[in-house]
Amino acid sequence: MSGYQLNGAVIAHDEEGYLTDIGQWTKDLASVIAKAENIDMNESHWEVVNFLRDYYEEYQIAPAVRILVKEMTKKYGKEKGDQKALYELFPYGPAKQACKIAGLPKPTGCV
Amino acid sequence: MAEATKFDPRQHVHGDPLDMPALCPGAMQASKPYPAAPNHNQALGFPGELAPDWKEKAIARLGELLESNRALRVYLDSCVKCGACTDKCHYFLGTGDPKNMPVARQDLLRKIYRRYFTLSGKLFPKLVGAEDLTKEVLDDWYSYFHQCSQCRRCSLYCPYGIDTAEISMAARDIMDTIGMGQKYSNEIIGKVFSIGNNLGLPPKALRNTLEGLEDDIEEETGVRVRLPVDEQGADILLVTPSADFFASPHMEGLIGYAKVLHESGVSWTLSTHASEAANFGMFIGSHENMQKIALRIRQAAQDLGVKRIVIGECGHAWRVAYSFLNTLAGPFEFLDPNYPVPQHICEFTYDLIQQGQLKFDKSKNDAFRLTFHDSCNVARASRMGDWAGGQFDIPRAILRAVCNHYFDMAPEVIREHTLCCGGGGGLLTDELMDLRAKGAMPRMRALQEAADEHGVTHMAAICAICKAQFSKVLPMYGFDREAIVSVHQMVSNAIVLTGSKPPEDQESGDE
């Protein structure tokens, strides 16, 4: 199984790039994962990642896309807070790709 | 995630959905899902990995299945190679790989059956197309039995009624039995056992999500519509796919169920124990796992003391519920016999519409020119209502009741002839995206035809897998990602709740 390179260390991930041990996540690692996903992290990306991590800490799961949209609307207004804007930030889908960068497990099921 | 061939969906969206493709032998040979980790397999009662004596075990397991499932033996015996099925599989239409012809897929198992379980195959294997079970054959199984979405379209055209889905379920059962499980399905089934649903959504998160939806509905309508969970003594237990608590447009459908149930005046509840309608035990052909999952619904119904069970929008869940629930988890003598056990949310809503109990403002859906995608397991493996074809008529009747602009796609690709979304049967996983994109091609072409002919803008569905798959593949084919909607999302848009704010107040969102 391969891993992300960070400061000379190798952080293991699964076949799809999700961290094997979510406890190894750091902000620096998030940037490395994002790079592997062809995403250049800006402030909005961090807002999403931070919200996902806070939500996960409380509920042990990533928030529903609708909850994420609501949160972003609160922060940025209606224009930047819809599903389309989230897909612009995370083209592979805000749920899966943003979770990967935030170091959280992949949402599974019919999603 | 290397793609087998370069495939640009936008180049393929125009054309006859059922066009015979050019043959590309071996095109999809390399397509296969990630293998399950040992702990995923073991949680389901399977060996962690491929055992040294896998071959003997596989043959023995096939023998057991032939004994316990007489239909399987008939399916393996009765094919006359007439060719009626060859161009009926959406994965064949999308990939051109001849091993995706249903007869070829069946033959992957049939040749092994002949070798070890028929006299002619034991004596003269070459004459009857019998073959030894080798690692190469097993690898072919893993690849091509994970290119069948168990949609049963081919079986509709087979003069003998051979059901390829049953054959692919048997093959997956054998592979699980020898420790060759598929990650996507097995990891998910494990989550149902440990957490209660496919998503891995714990009770606290479920409650928080539902409260958020109650707030949203109140803000929108001024009416406090409840989404109760674990409420003792409620009349109805609603069991719905956990994607309804997470993804879009699934969740917008859930809001629709809640509004309908609210207007009905019947008390209802969700359950944290049975917070999943899906049953991936069916996809992997494992009766034991399917039963274990189904029993959670019985347990929840008994614990909560409900009188009725209603199932949300989920295709294969409705097959398991409608066709198998009583065998797997029955009898349900403790439920009210005046209602179907179980009942589909569409049946529930349709009945209320028939009784004139729901009020709609259809103009709320005027931005939608709708069509309906029949989901395979609802279309070909179950029914709704008490008449033949009710599973086709009822969702359409609901859509027509809530929306002014409804158009069917071409007759040869709807109702019992419907095409799979391309992601069913345990294939809705990212590493199979190439297969999923290609398998969706026939449906995308049919949708394009409807868009060209009738100006159709949106497609409604009643299956969580279809909704997730279309959200992914629609943009690849040049459609809007949000062109896929839930049937009850359309209901939700149009329903006029008793005591709701007049339209002018709804705009401003206050009051």
In a domain, A21, yes or no: no
Tell me the chain A residues in contact with residue B183 when contact means C-beta distances shorter than 8 Å: 15
Range of the domain at A89: 43-101
- Tokens standing for B397? 């009747």
Number of H helices, E strands in chain A: 5, 2
Whether A96 is in a domain gets the answer yes
What ipTM score was computed for the predicted complex, to two decimals?
A: 0.96
Q: What is the pTM of this model?
A: 0.96
Give the closest-approach CA distance of A95 to chain B in angstroms: 9
Neighbours of B295 (CB within 10 A): 13
Q: How far apart are CA B254 and CA B246, in angstroms?
A: 10
For residue A107, which residues of chain B lie inside 8 Å, CB to CB?
A: 199-200, 246
Q: Do B243 and A65 touch (CB under 8 A)?
A: no
Contacts 24+ apart (CB under 8 A), A75-78: A75/A47, A76/A44
The predicted-structure confidence for A10-48, as pLDDT tens digits, reads as follows: 999 999 999 999 999 999 999 999 999 999 999 999 999
A79 pLDDT band (50/70/90 cuts)? Answer: confident
CA-CA distance, B308 to B305, in Å (whole number)? 9
Q: What is the pLDDT of residue B320?
A: 98
Nearest Cα of chain B lies from the Cα of A27 at a distance, in angstroms, of: 25
Q: Which residues in chain B come in under a pLDDT of 70?
A: 1-5, 503-511
Instruction: Name the residue among B261, B249, B215 with its Cα closest to residue B497.
Output: B261
- Per the domain annotation, does A73 fall within a domain? yes
pLDDT tens digits, B273-290: 999 999 999 999 999 999
How many domains does the structure of chain A reveal?
Answer: 1
Position A6 in a domain: no
CB neighbourhood size of B74 (10 A) = 14
User: Could you tell me if B377 lies within 8 Å of chain A, comparing CB atoms?
Assistant: no
Residue A15, domain member (yes or no):
no
A8: CB partners within 8 A, 6+ apart: none
Question: Residue A57 maps to which CATH number?
Answer: 1.10.10.370
Residue A24 lies in a domain: no
Look at residue A63 and tell me whether its pLDDT is greater than 80. Answer: yes
Active site residue A110: yes
Residue A65 domain-assigned (yes or no): yes
Q: Residue A78 has what pLDDT?
A: 79
pLDDT of residue B231: 98
Q: Is B214 on the interface with A (CB under 8 A)?
A: no
Where b means 16+ CB within 10 Å and e means fewer, B415-443 reads bebbbbbbbbbbbbbbbbbbbbbbbbbbb
Cα–Cα distance measured from residue B492 to residue B37, given in angstroms and rounded to the nearest whole number: 41
Mutate which of B40, B191, B199, B469 to test chain A, going by most A C-beta atoms within 10 A? B199
Q: Which two tokens mark B266?
A: 């019947």
The Cα of A41 is separated from the nearest Cα of chain B by a number of Å equal to 23
Contact call for A108 and B188, based on CB within 8 A? yes
* CA B131 from centroid of its chain's CA atoms: 33
Least CB–CB distance from A111: residue in B205, B243, B314: B243
Q: Which among B216, B196, B218 has a CA at the least distance from the CA of B205? A: B196
Task: Quote the pLDDT of residue B6.
Answer: 79
The SS3 call for residue B309 is strand
Q: Which of B281, B247, B79, B269 is nearest to B160 (CA)?
A: B79
A31 located within any domain: no
- Report which of B167, B169, B189 is spatially closest to residue B85, judged by C-alpha positions: B167
Whether residue B17 contacts residue B446, with contact meaning beta carbons closer than 8 Å, is answered with yes
Nearest to B198 among A66, A84, A109 (CB): A109
Q: Is B481 an interface residue toward A (CB < 8 Å)?
A: yes
Chain A, nearest residue to B432 by Cα: A16
- What are the structural domains of chain B? 12-181 (1.10.1060), 190-503 (no CATH)
**pLDDT single digits (tens) B116-172:** 999 999 999 999 999 999 999 999 999 999 999 999 999 999 999 999 999 999 999
